Amino acid sequence: MDSSTRNKMSGNGPSSDFQSRLIKAIYDTSPDGILVVDAQGMVVAHNRQFLQLWHIVPSQLHMKADGTAIGESDAPLLAEVVARVQNPAAFLERVRELYDNPQLDDHCEIELKDARTLERHSTVLRGEHDEYLGRVWFFRDITIQKNHEAALIQLARHDPLTGTANRRYFFERAEQEFMRSRRYQTPLSIALIDVDHFKHINDQFGHATGDEVLKLLSGKITALLRESDLLARIGGEEFAILMPSTGLAGAALMAERLRVTIAEEASPVAGLMLHLRFSAGVTQLKAQDQSIEDCLRRADEAMYKAKQAGRDRVEACA
């Protein structure tokens, strides 16, 4: 440490000049966008990263010649920010709540209209006698992190070939719906689907064609399901459909609609025109069922009956 630095750090602590330069260095190099607003709603400080994160162009706000909003009301900045978030009403309500309640701190994630995600921290500034001086806002772009997390969830929950839910996620959701059905006394149905003559497709045309059949079939089924339904690949050519708030009659009708729609016209697969057919077993959760496995067992038995009866059909088990 050189003598000038030692002098600045000597005595009762760093000099005011050293402190101001340190604060400026932190502001300028921080990955966070920083905004400081005083108790009267005036901008005390902000760094360039704040403007960059929010895509705020100083000239559009008629900022000062130095490109800052320091000394101005925070209202124009707030209007620019609110215009960029996906849920402006909720965002603005929370900001006002924080300003009105100095005892509150904040940590949340904000979804923007341009598909980015910002992490927000906010805390209060208090004086020597604990008086409220203002509030500091910190913003950081965590889009890459959120996208990475979403990709990991996708891998953990979905079948890599078809993009449908995988076996593990299906049972996780099925158990949740089982408990919900019990709690609220709502119906719950399950359909098990098995592609007819799938081994023949693999043997005659190859496994690559078989994979294309599974992808095409799952896509056609997904397009016909409700948003609340869940399609999962739980075996090689076996799929399951979880249908919350659906009784046996409605589930059987849905399964039959899927079967007819898919079978009625040939589908292009790997340069071939194939008629895709499946057998399905459908059942509804019963009062005496101890777990979702009891329901699945009946659906499997119904599907086996459909196979035994000649395939390309739906069997319901009450």
DSSP designation for 58: G
Active site residue 256: no
Instruction: Name the token pair of 42.
Output: 């005036």
Picking from 107, 134, 138, 139, the residue whose alpha carbon sits closest to that of residue 43 is 134
Cα separation of 109 and 85, whole Å? 11
Beta bridge partners of 135: 37, 124
Please provide residue 34's backbone torsions phi and psi, each rounded to the nearest 5 degrees: -120, 135
Angle between helices 207-224 and 198-205 in degrees, nearest 10: 140
3-state DSSP percent of the chain in helix, strand and coil, to 5:
45, 25, 30
User: Which helix H or strand E contains 98, and what residues bound it?
Assistant: helix 88-100
Written as one letter, the residue type at 229 is D
- 3-class secondary structure, 263: helix
Q: Exactly one of 177, 212, 237, 315 is catalytic; name it.
A: 237
Residues noted as catalytic:
237
